[in-house]
Structure 1
Amino acid sequence: MTAAPAPEPTKRRRRAPRPRSLRLHGTVARDLGIRIVSGVLEPGEILEGEIAASLQFSVSRTAYREAIRILAAKGLVHSRPKIGTQVSPRREWHLLDPDVLAWIFVGEPDPALIQSLFELRRIVEPDAARLAALRRSDAQLARMKDGLDGVAEHGFATEIGRRCDEAFHSALLEASGNDFVVSLTSGVATAIALTTAFKQHRLPAPHDALPVHLAVYEAIAAQDAQGAHDAMARLVERGLSDTMEARDPGSQGAMRACC
């Protein structure tokens, strides 16, 4: 009896390579985004026309148009008939968008933006910690502890350590049980990761923030709402003073005087 022929090996279907324009538009959007948030391109300024800009960036007009669409979706630019593409006023920027936050911290972040970011954290996070102390589940508490254990093992100076810190804050915001607070998780967690990395790269000996994080966790674990609020408020204030010192070492004394 003739043996049946062996089945042909299944051929792996190769994914078609992405068009070059789709790989380039993100780079163009990042370049323009950094120029906008750093003030090189000011609100109201009109960007170059599509043809000139595509030549400047050495990309196709399709790639440039896609980059502009990305920036428009983040509130950084808007197009007006017969005028062109303009830089939007700052009040229209989606400042908690992870890309926009990352672009802010590429160079020297505007101190007014840093202050505004930490004002938001002051408003949101202490009361989120208060609610988390009252509403957290055992699973959410375990995620917070796992995050801090990771920070203790890897440190804030490493990317994995900062991801563990981000996991702690994300679990805390989720534990608040408030859908509007939870909706801020991505932006707030990204802001915390970026400011932490900024401090670690700029300060020769940054303060160890782990004990203050542990104080927040312990209050939440003990269901001490006021203690959790106060510990988180201290954590946010420490973050602000360290970030301002990292941006301008001469500001340390002034920050301590006012805070």
Structure 2
Amino acid sequence: MASVQPLETKPKRVRKRAPRPRSLRLHGTVARELGIRIVSGLLNPGDILEGEIAASVQFNVSRTAYREAIRILAAKGLVNSRPKIGTQVSPRKEWHLLDPDVLGWIFVGEPDPGLIYNLFELRRIVEPDAARLAATRRTTPQLARMRAGLDGVAKHGFATEKGRHCDEEFHSALLEASDNDFIVSLTSGVAAAIAITTAFKQHRRPAPHDALPVHLEVFKAIEAGDAQGAHDAMARLVDRGLMDTMEARDPPPARSHRRDRD
């Protein structure tokens, strides 16, 4: 009987993913640059952006990449295109301010203090009552997620990206524990706002107050089913965040140790 010859196995080809077109790598950069100009006030509502040809030359990108950047900004409510007028900066009321990208662009430079107050007003309206609801509606897995998030903050600190991610997880789990579909729909925006403002504070002026103890007060009240205690602790946490953010934007003048001389 003839011996069976083993089949030759061909080495598997590893298919290399085609490189992304240069335009796809650049349109996000252009959108970010224009977005920062808009939210910082360098471009005002009603301003007309440069034409497609001139803008593509200015940013050294293809017209396709520039058009895609404008589509990104339009989806975030920052611009609108009108026939015979061109691309125009939209009124602020149309901006999607809780979009994570828009929030990030706001805090790149010197954020408008009015926008900071408005952001924390929203948090003050939403989060304390979300904590109140969470105290009576939370599930065991949601409590575990909140605890894990705070354990991560205790381990890594707010000054690290990992620690801020853990803080974001705590707040996301808390909002979801409210078991209110409309509050839950705000999770990504509120969580992004918390992460971005925390990073801003740590970068500009590490917060002099340790926020972890107040986070723990919120958690303990929710764990104990203390609805009013959870509400009040979260209100204190949001108020503390506003004070620290404003101090990071406008730090108080350093005290002079020199005595005035006559």
For the criterion TM > 0.5, the same-fold answer is yes
1:8 maps to 2:10: yes
1:155 maps to 2:157: yes
3-state SS of 2:88 partner: strand
3-state SS of 1:79 partner: strand
1:179 maps to 2:198: no
Match of 1:139 among 135, 138, 141: 141
Gaps of 5+ in 2: 254-262
Aligned equivalent of 2:79: 77
CA-to-partner distance for each residue in 1:34-64, whole Å, 9 max, x for gaps? 0000000000000000000000000000000
Matched residues in 2 for 1:101 and 1:204: separation?
A: 20
**CA shift at 1:249, angstroms?**
1.3
3-state SS of 2:84 partner: coil
Aligned equivalent of 1:50: 52
Match of 1:242 among 222, 241, 244: 244
Question: Residue type of the partner of 2:172?
Answer: S
CA-to-partner distance for each residue in 1:129-180, whole Å, 9 max, x for gaps? 0000000000000000000000000000000000000000000000000000
CA-to-partner distance for each residue in 1:50-82, whole Å, 9 max, x for gaps? 000000000000000000000000000000100
Trace 1:221-236 onto structure 2 (pairs within 5 A): 221-236=223-238
Say if 2:150 and 2:216, in contact at 8 Å, map to a contact too.
Answer: yes
3-state SS of 1:249 partner: coil
Aligned equivalent of 1:254: none
Question: Residue type of the partner of 2:242?
Answer: L
Aligned equivalent of 1:88: 90
3-state SS of 2:252 partner: helix
Say if 1:199 and 1:206, in contact at 8 Å, map to a contact too.
Answer: no
**CA shift at 1:201, angstroms?**
1.2
**CA shift at 1:205, angstroms?**
5.0
Trace 1:12-51 onto structure 2 (pairs within 5 A): 12-51=14-53
Say if 2:201 and 2:207, in contact at 8 Å, map to a contact too.
Answer: no
Say if 2:35 and 2:102, in contact at 8 Å, map to a contact too.
Answer: yes
Matched residues in 2 for 1:2 and 1:236: separation?
A: 76
Bigger CA radius of gyration: 2
Say if 2:49 and 2:88, in contact at 8 Å, map to a contact too.
Answer: yes
Q: 1:236 and 1:204, CA in 2 relative to 1: closer, same or farther beyond 3 A?
A: closer
**CA shift at 1:2, angstroms?**
5.0
Matched residues in 1 for 2:93 and 2:133: separation?
A: 30
Gaps of 5+ in 1: 252-259
Question: Residue type of the partner of 1:133?
Answer: A
Aligned equivalent of 1:196: 198
Matched residues in 1 for 2:209 and 2:166: separation?
A: 18
Q: 1:205 and 1:189, CA in 2 relative to 1: closer, same or farther beyond 3 A?
A: closer
Say if 1:200 and 1:206, in contact at 8 Å, map to a contact too.
Answer: no
Deviates more, 1:6-15 or 1:217-226: 6-15
**CA shift at 1:6, angstroms?**
2.2
Say if 2:207 and 2:244, in contact at 8 Å, map to a contact too.
Answer: no
Question: Residue type of the partner of 2:214?
Answer: V
Matched residues in 1 for 2:136 and 2:102: separation?
A: 33
**CA shift at 1:5, angstroms?**
3.1
**CA shift at 1:202, angstroms?**
1.4
CA-to-partner distance for each residue in 1:201-245, whole Å, 9 max, x for gaps? 111553100000000000000000000000000000000000000
**CA shift at 1:13, angstroms?**
1.4
Matched residues in 2 for 1:78 and 1:250: separation?
A: 40
